[in-house]
Amino acid sequence: LEAEIAAGRKLAEAASIIGGKAGGGTPRPVLSPIDGSPVGTVTEAGAEAASAAMAAAAAGFHAWDRTDVTVRAAALDKAAGLMEARRGMLLALLQDEGGKTLDDALAELREAVDFCRYYAAQARKIFGPGEHMPGPTGEDNILRHRGRGVFVCISPWNFPLAIFLGQVAAALAAGNAVVAKPAEQTPLIAHAAVKILHEAGVPTSALHLVLGDGRTGAALTGHAAVAGVAFTGSTETAWAINRSLAAKNAAIVPLIAETGGINAMVVDATALPEQVADDVVTSAFRSAGQRCSALRLLCVQEDVADKVVAMIKGAAEELKLGDPRQPATHVGPVIDAEAKAGLEAHIAVMKGAARTHLAMAAPAQGTFVGPHIFEIARVEDLTREVFGPVLHVVRWKAGRLAPLLDAVAATGYGLTLGVHTRIEATLAAVAERMAVGNIYVNRNMIGAVVGTQPFGGVGLSGTGPKAGGPNYLKRFAAEQVIA
Ligand code: ADP
């Protein structure tokens, strides 16, 4: 595998792809978060390119929507196979551009491949010739699904292949034309993925790539041709997209949003401390905490808090920070200097306001942030998602589980929640009271526990239906009844 990755590692070039042609712009280097070395060159498009891509997608929509679903699905299956065959190149990009450890890169590639195959299989089931339904006189009526039109897919850098491809594959499977805009931090891997989809048989008229930052994203979601938006990123951006869709005064356009979370874990006195320590370290610090699902707020019952925190600290101190291309590394860099500065500012505030349990140093080169653990007095002291390796601990008293849960719920986020307990009633109470998307019981909390289980949240964390789930594809399609 190492040899395959080494062979796949070469300077990459990416530009927008509109109607199969490379878009223009001014090239800039893409630098690795690991050490600032060049990974490739990206040419970003401006607002005109966004508009050209939307027009080209609108022109390509009907042909793709009328393409038999088995043909659409076959293209996704073929893309999955091509990704497996070219894993050296994709893994190298996930590591160099995304800063991922080999374990994380492999898991992400697997997830991207699974999304393609799963959505292909789902599409064959859901988007066939239609379902027969009896009409008023018993005659044969039909319910079928069609693409909505041009779907804009906007994705983040933290899963630059799996989330990017998951959105695009779902939208394409349902018969939409797609304009995809990946995060500005990770254009190279998105470009590689689009090339693979085109090679696998997705027409260049049905799938377009537009590279650029948030302004380019806004130009796409604000375009008159948009028929749907799939978005994963910050809650603030989801609000901005919602506002822009609402202001259009035209078609009522659905937004499928997956945003952030505060992701609490509740630990009671019956939990197994060794397992808790292991799961907390994995959930809070793996991927440098840059997962939507990552644990940010650990709620430990007071009676066991000192012991549990000491064990977590001990386990965290074993983590090796550094170059994620080294097999021994557990924690790689955060994505860029801006992310690092934001985390350092939060850490500085916490150092003044909270008790510090752990403050690990980070390598000076690259954009690293060492794992930190702070103890805060109340759940309310953590008001926003802190997207990095920073864990906040709060204690709760026996008999006060309900108010604790209410305080967690009051944050408004509803993505993930962990529970460590050996009491069935505690688990039932937590699951009943908490409107979160994914609950993890006596295990770590990282994404979907099996590739094709649904993942996603509610409230400030997103709209549902969940990515990877059996209901996801339907949101990308329009139902049509022929009676
Ligand atoms: P993150 O904090 O993960 O970078 P963002 O929400 O800023 O989250 O970014 C996620 C994606 O949304 C990126 O592709 C980014 O370019 C895009 N984006 C940012 N602002 C806007 C906007 N106003 N409209 C559309 N897309 C945007």
Kindly report, residue by residue over 338-347, the tens digit of the pLDDT: 999 999 999 9
More confident residue, 373 or 471: 373
Q: Is the dihedral of CA 187, 190, 196, 200 positive or negative?
A: negative
pLDDT at 129 over 80: yes
Ligand 1 centroid to 119 CA: how many Å?
A: 25
Whether 156 lines ligand 1, by a CB cut-off of 6 Å, is yes
The model's pTM is 0.96
Residue ID of nearest Cα to ligand 1 atom 15:
214
Which atom belonging to ligand 1 lies closest to the Cα atom of 158? 3
Is any atom of ligand 1 closer than 6 Å to the C-beta of 55?
A: no
Measured in angstroms, how far is the CA atom of residue 167 from the centroid of ligand 1?
A: 15
Pocket test for ligand 1, best of 237, 340, 386 (most atoms within 8 A of CB): 237
Query: How far apart, in whole angstroms, are the C-alpha atoms of residue 317 and residue 271?
Result: 22
Burial 16-38 (b: 16+ CB within 10 A, else e): bbbbeeebebeeeebbbbbeeee
pLDDT given for residue 456 in this prediction? 93
Can you tell me the distance from the alpha carbon of 92 to that of 111, in angstroms, rounded to the nearest whole number? 16
Q: Cα–Cα distance between 117 and 62 in angstroms, integer? A: 24
Res 99 pLDDT > 80: yes
**In ligand 1, which atom is closest to the CA atom of 241?**
24
Measured by CA distance, the residue closest to atom 20 of ligand 1 is 214
HEC string for the chain: CHHHHHHHCCCEEEECEECCEECCCCEEEEECCCCCCEEEEEECCCHHHHHHHHHHHHHHHHHHHHCCHHHHHHHHHHHHHHHHHCHHHHHHHHHHCCCCCHHHHHHHHHHHHHHHHHHHHHHHHHCCCCEEEECCCCCEEEEEEEECCEEEEECCCCCCCHHHHHHHHHHHHCCCEEEEECCCCCHHHHHHHHHHHHHCCCCCCCEEECCCCHHHHHHHHCCCCEEEEEEECCHHHHHHHHHHHHCCCCCCCCEEEECCCCCEEEECCCCCHHHHHHHHHHHHHHHHHCCCCCCCEEEEEHHHHHHHHHHHHHHHHCCCECCCCCCCCCECCCCCHHHHHHHHHHHHHHHHHCEEEEECCCCCCCCCCCCEEEECCCHHHCCCCCCCCEEEEEEECCCCHHHHHHHHHHCCEECEEEEECCCHHHHHHHHHHCCCCEEEECCCCCCCCCCCCCECCEECCECCCCECCCCHHHHCEEEEEEC
Per residue in 388-430, pLDDT (tens digit) is: 999 999 999 999 999 999 999 999 999 999 999 999 999 998 9
pLDDT category at 250 given cuts 50, 70, 90 is confident
Residue nearest to atom 23 of ligand 1 (CA): 218
Confidence at residue 107, expressed as pLDDT on a 0 to 100 scale: 95
As a whole number of angstroms, the distance between CA 197 and CA 178 comes to 12
Give the number of the atom of ligand 1 that is nearest the alpha carbon of residue 232: 10
For residue 248, the model assigns a pLDDT of 72
In this model, does residue 470 exceed pLDDT 90?
Answer: no
CA–CA separation, 319 vs 368, rounded Å?
A: 13
Task: Give dist(CA 152, CA 150) in Å, integer.
Answer: 6
Among 154, 186, 226, 242, say which to mutate for ligand 1: greatest number of ligand atoms within 8 Å of CB: 154
Among protein residues, the one with the nearest Cα to ligand 1's atom 9 is 233
CA distance 468 to 453: 6
Alpha carbon of 218 to ligand 1 centroid (Å): 9
Q: Give yes or no for residue 284 CB within 6 A of ligand 1.
A: no
Is any ligand 1 atom within 6 A of the Cβ of residue 154? Answer: yes
Q: Is the CB of 221 under 6 A from ligand 1?
A: yes
C-alpha pair distances (Å), 407 with each of 148, 410, 414, 460: 40, 5, 12, 15
- pLDDT surpassing 90 at residue 249: no
Looking from the CA of residue 259, the nearest atom of ligand 1 is: 6
Ligand 1 contact via 241 beta carbon (within 6 Å) = yes
What is residue 317's predicted lDDT score, i.e. its pLDDT? 97
- Residues classed as catalytic: 258, 292
| Per-residue model confidence (pLDDT) at position 466 | 86
Q: What percent of the chain has pLDDT over 70?
A: 100
What does the buried/exposed string (b/e) look like for 184-206 if buried means 16 or more CB atoms within 10 Å of the residue's CB? bbbbbbbbbbbebbbebebbbbb
Q: Tell me which of 28-32, 43-47, 246-250, 443-447 is least confident.
A: 246-250
Residue 181 CA, closest ligand 1 atom number: 14
pLDDT in tens, 353-364: 999 999 999 998
Cα–ligand 1 centroid distance for 156 (angstroms): 7
Distance CA 353, CA 45 (A): 44
pLDDT confidence bin for 56, thresholds 50/70/90: very high
The verdict on the CB of residue 213 being under 6 Å from ligand 1 is yes
Q: What is the pLDDT of residue 2?
A: 92
The answer to whether 215 touches 184, Cβ cutoff 8 Å, is no
240 Cα nearest atom in ligand 1: 23
Q: What is the mean pLDDT of residues 197-215?
A: 98
pLDDT for res 100: 97
> pLDDT by residue (tens digit) across 259-300?
999 999 999 999 999 999 999 999 999 999 999 999 999 999
Ligand 1 in reach of 16 Cβ (< 6 A): no
Indicate whether residue 47 lines ligand 1 (CB < 6 A): no
| Gap between the Cα atoms of 315 and 302, Å rounded | 20
Span 184-197, mean pLDDT? 98
Q: What angle (nearest 5°) sits at the alpha carbon of residue 422, between those of residues 419 and 425?
A: 80
Residue 231 CA, ligand 1 centroid: distance in Å: 8
Residue 315, C-beta contacts closer than 8 angstroms, at least 6 positions apart: 277, 278, 280, 281
Q: Which two three-digit tokens encode residue 242?
A: 């919602």
Is the C-beta atom of 342 inside 6 A of ligand 1? Answer: no
pLDDT averaged over every residue in the chain:
96
In the block, tokens 């940010």 appear at 296
Over residues 36-47, the mean pLDDT reads 93
Cβ of residue 238 lying under 6 Å from some atom of ligand 1: no
- Does the structure show a pLDDT above 90 at 101? yes
- CA of 198 from ligand 1 middle (Å) equals 25
Minimum CA distance residue for ligand 1 atom 26: 217
Residue 237 Cβ < 6 Å to ligand 1: yes
Beta strands at 264-267 and 416-420: parallel, antiparallel or unpaired = parallel
Q: How far is the centre of ligand 1, averaged over its atoms, from the C-alpha of 182 (Å)?
A: 9
